[in-house]
Amino acid sequence: ALVISVPLGFFGGIGAASKIGVLVKGSNYLEAVAEMTTIVFDKTGTLTKGEFKVTDVITENGSKEELIELAALGEGYSNHPIANSIREAYGKELDLNRVTNTEEIAGHGIHTFIDGREVYLGNAKLMDAQNIAYTENKTAGTVVYVVCNNVFAGSIVISDTVKEGSKDAIRDMKQVGVKKTVMLTGDRQAAADAVAAELGIDEVHAELLPADKVGQVEKLLGAQNEKERLAFVGDGINDAPVLTRADIGIAMGSMGSDAAIEAADIVLMDDDIRKIASLVKIARKTLGIVKQNIVFALAVKALVLLLGALGMANMWEAVFADVGVSVIAILNSMRTLNTK
């Protein structure tokens, strides 16, 4: 009864999850989801659409057209969503023969040469690291600072939009018993705070490098007790180490990178994070049914064993304790498939 019904209960739970478009890679992850109390989100592409648009161009030296052209050429070799949005705002064909010696500085930006002029494109950390005097742009959104020959040229503001259903997803998760929601992002604090306030997220950590995200998850894991579980939801290639480190790694299936999907324990096939709350309900119902089977099977067998020892059990009661209990436990396990 136990050997058949317990795995079957978990298989049924995994089947119920697959019906709503969630791939669970093992029964141990389904069990962990039922015990999840903290959920950590990457911002871009997970809570937001990752569809960046240039919303403002502020110049200090030169015209807006020159600033956008410099930025578009500098980002010409990048496939990052921010780079795509800058090229889209420029709107003309790029002559990348004008660009030489492009170097990406991880978590900071790009160093390149355009028409022989030295150009830096990136965040405030890049400006500080290169000791370049710049005017801080405090607009909510991602800001790319542009420097040409060590002279600050201006800044470009790029904004992302929150995904439909993200707010509902956070609310639903809290309703099913998730105690803490956390957002991690490499974006600026102002942009991160604006998204967190809109969605009702409890804790925000901004301006993080990919390695910093692992450090933040380590801290959150250290603050939990043994029975609590932490999930991380991400989509990018730089989320793979965090997905591996969390108790439960959840990746986006349609827009997520192959590395993130490979590293994750659970994959949302259509990127809808509202399904996480549904998955928690399925996991808890599955665990409940599995526990029912364990208690029922052991209790009936113990009772018949006792009656047998006292000479009060007949053959039919023994048959029920063996085959009958197995059949009932299997039928009970099959209920997990029908979790709504």
Q: Enumerate the active-site residues.
A: 42
Place of tokens 């989509």: 235
Residues whose CB is less than 8 angstroms from the CB of residue 79 and which lie 6 or more positions away in sequence, other chains included: none
Q: What is the token pair recorded at 328?
A: 């009932």
Q: What is the token pair recorded at 254?
A: 């349609």
- Tell me how far apart the alpha carbons of residues 101 and 139 are, in angstroms, rounded to a whole number: 31
Q: What is the token pair recorded at 238?
A: 């730089």
32 forms bridges with which residues in the sheet? none
Q: What is the token pair recorded at 166?
A: 């993200």
